[in-house]
Amino acid sequence: MTDPEIASPSAFPEPSVLATHSAATVRPVHDEFHGDLLEVSMGPQHPSTHGVFRMVVTLDGEVIVKLKPVFGYLHRNHEKLGENTTYLGSMPYTDRLDYLCSMTNNWAYALAVEKLAGQPVPERAEYVRVILAEMTRLVNHMCLVGFLFNDLGTSFTPLLYAFREREKFIDLFESLSGSRMMCNFQRFGGCRANPSPEWLGAVSKLVDGFPKFLDEYEQLLTGNEILLARTQGVGCLSPELAVQAGITGPMLRASGVGYDIRKADGYGIYPRFDFRVPIGAHGDTYDRYMMRILEMRESVKILQQALRDIPAGPVMDPKSRLRNFRPKPGEAYGRIEGPKGEIGFYLISDGSPNPLRYRVRAPSFVNLTVIEDMCLGRTVADSVVILGSVDIVLGEVDR
């Protein structure tokens, strides 16, 4: 139902000469015919911005002429806190970064510290970390798809189906780590507790039943004509601009760039598993939705392989130290493929128990760079959907 020639965003700005970027794509604003432009502030108190995020939108009728993201409302200077507590003390705070995927945040931080201190990790811990990371990816993608459909105007039905499945995974996290969302489970050199065989059995049973839920979900939504109309061709992002703007995760792969850190860096034991990385062709909101669905199917494959050949043994390296852990002076940048994109920790140690510099590279923060490029020329209703497809969590954006 969309008219291709509807005011689609003008030619993508030539990335190299950026200085003229903002002027080139904004139409002459105040000429006679336009009448006065309407400046609307969407957020920070708005039903569909995910958390305290604000977009100052300049509207000409329904069409967006200018869009400035404003955030920082949830800024609690996470990095200064990191500099004032010990390495172990920062671990529970990493749960609060992207509060939907605490396991992957913990793993990224643990990976960076292990790279900083050269700490080996036992075999079983690597498998447990892959299992937990892929479970977190499923949980996060379910949340994203649910919220995206809420922005599109369904009355909570897809969201509640997705949350019904998410609850089962969250309960497994709780029975393993003690808390549903704030797991604080990884330590430098392994995991805090050893998952019992019953727990692993419960995970494999849940994972085997997951594709059935996905099929029902796709039957409800993927073919829906209104969804096709509302999302295809909306918020297109060209591959060049995506790479140039440092977009990572499903949003990048939806634009056709097949870059997945699990394949590129091969950290942990990912090279042992065979899984495929789906790529989109148009880079619009529909592709980003389908990326998440296809990635969920790939994660199920990885989980089944990991659960099949997880070895026995300890999950914590005997030489790892909990208290007064002083890595030798140096710096390290560790990164993993989080559900939202590349989440990385850059640590500089000067031999003391507190890190000299503790930097978090949050995927949502960088993925927001192109929100204006995607929304120019679209209507207000589209901007809400495009923001939903970018999948931001304000705990991570504001740090």
4-43 residues in contact with other proteins (CB under 8 A) are: 4-7, 15-19, 21-22, 27-28, 31, 33, 38, 40
Residue 241 gets which letter from DSSP? H
Q: Are 131 and 300 in contact (CB under 8 A)?
A: no
What gap in Å lies between CA 81 and CA 78, rounded to an integer? 5
Among 29, 153, 211, 314, binds other proteins (CB under 8 A): 153
From residue 293 to residue 332, the character string flagging contacts with other proteins as x (rule: CB under 8 A) and all else as - is: -x---------------------------xx---xxxxxx
Q: Which amino acid is at 140?
A: N
Q: Which amino acid is at 341?
A: G
Quick one: 21 or 272, whose CB is closer to other proteins? 21
Stretch that binds other proteins, among 128-136, 137-145, 280-288, 305-313 (CB under 8 A): 280-288
What gap in Å lies between CA 294 and CA 215, rounded to an integer? 11
Stretch that binds other proteins, among 98-106, 138-146, 153-161, 305-313 (CB under 8 A): 153-161
Distance of closest approach, residue 133 Cβ to other proteins, in angstroms: 19
Residue 98 engages other proteins in binding (rule: CB under 8 A): no
Distance of closest approach, residue 310 Cβ to other proteins, in angstroms: 19
Helix axes 102-117, 87-95, angle to 10 degrees: 160
Q: Which amino acid is at 103?
A: M
What gap in Å lies between CA 393 and CA 152, rounded to an integer? 18
Distance of closest approach, residue 127 Cβ to other proteins, in angstroms: 19
Stretch that binds other proteins, among 125-133, 138-146, 299-307, 378-386 (CB under 8 A): 378-386
Burial class (CB in 10 A: 0-12, 13-18, 19+), 333: middle
What gap in Å lies between CA 399 and CA 394, rounded to an integer? 8
Which residues in the 197-236 window bind other proteins by CB under 8 A?
216, 219-230, 232-233
Quick one: 28 or 311, whose CB is closer to other proteins? 28
Q: Which amino acid is at 393?
A: V
Residue 181 engages other proteins in binding (rule: CB under 8 A): no
What gap in Å lies between CA 252 and CA 340, rounded to an integer? 10
Name which of 127, 100, 138 is nearest 300 in CA terms.
138
Tokens 């809420």 label which residue?
A: 150
Distance of closest approach, residue 313 Cβ to other proteins, in angstroms: 18
Among 265, 272, 326, 354, binds other proteins (CB under 8 A): 265
Quick one: 157 or 313, whose CB is closer to other proteins? 157
Quick one: 1 or 312, whose CB is closer to other proteins? 1
From residue 344 to residue 373, the character string flagging contacts with other proteins as x (rule: CB under 8 A) and all else as - is: x-x-xx------xx-x-x---xx-xx----
- Total of chain residues touching other proteins, rule CB under 8 A: 139
Residue 184 engages other proteins in binding (rule: CB under 8 A): yes
Among 37, 56, 181, 245, binds other proteins (CB under 8 A): 245
Q: How many CB atoms lie within 10 A of CB 137?
A: 25
Distance of closest approach, residue 22 Cβ to other proteins, in angstroms: 6
Which residues in the 111-130 window bind other proteins by CB under 8 A?
115-118
Residue 56 engages other proteins in binding (rule: CB under 8 A): no
Among 164, 205, 271, 314, binds other proteins (CB under 8 A): 164
Q: Quick check: helix, strand or coil at residue 349?
A: strand
R_g (Cα) of the chain, nearest Å: 22
Task: List b or e across 35-47, with b for residues whose CB sees 16 or more CB atoms inside 10 angstroms.
Answer: eeeeeeebbbeee
Quick one: 72 or 309, whose CB is closer to other proteins? 72
Quick one: 192 or 272, whose CB is closer to other proteins? 192
Q: Quick check: helix, strand or coil at residue 145?
A: helix
The gap between the terminal CA atoms of the chain, to the nearest Å, is 40
My answer on whether omega of the bond before 250 falls inside 30° of 0, hence cis, is no
Stretch that binds other proteins, among 55-63, 101-109, 124-132, 134-142 (CB under 8 A): 55-63
